[in-house]
Amino acid sequence: MSDDRPASASPSPAPEGSRIGAALRGAAWRGRARQVRALLEEERELILQGDLRGLAGHAARSRTALEDFLSSPPAGETPERELERIRDAAARNRRLLAALLEGAAAARQELAQHEKARSQLGYDRSGGVVTGSGPGRGRRA
């Protein structure tokens, strides 16, 4: 069979194929974006529950998904709306986590004060309250 094209001419890329490829890459990126948003929502629930152990286990999955998401940017235009939703969810979780940690620190401080007060109270032989922690302190009831 004879080919009417010159030998140096290369076949032109199929425009339909490149559009399909771009659409598939875009769909894959949107899927990874949805996965990141779902993980951020799971993280939010763990924070609201105060589940620090759950958060620690969740971190590795989130890190992997985020690295995958960031390693393959979307084809064509960057979907700013999707990125804004992810940024908003991450900022919300950061605020919630800061509040959780602040509350936990306040609770630890309150417990330490109660323990200190409890350790400084005791009773003497006649049942009277003795305060302080010196060597002459009475027995506790």
What is the tens place of the pLDDT at every residue in 53-92? 999 999 999 999 989 888 877 776 778 888 899 999 999 9
Residue count of the chain? 141
Could you tell me the residue ranges of all domains in the chain? 18-128
**pTM, whole model, 2 decimals?**
0.66
Residue 3 identity (one-letter amino acid): D
Q: What is the pLDDT along the chain (141 residues), one digit of tens a residue?
A: 545 545 544 455 545 667 777 777 778 888 899 999 999 999 999 999 999 899 999 999 999 998 988 887 777 677 888 889 999 999 999 999 999 999 989 999 999 988 888 777 777 788 787 776 555 444 455
Question: Where on the phi/psi map is residue 16: left (φ > 0), alpha (ψ -120 to 50), or beta?
Answer: alpha
- State the chain's mean pLDDT as an integer: 81
For residue 119, the model assigns a pLDDT of 76
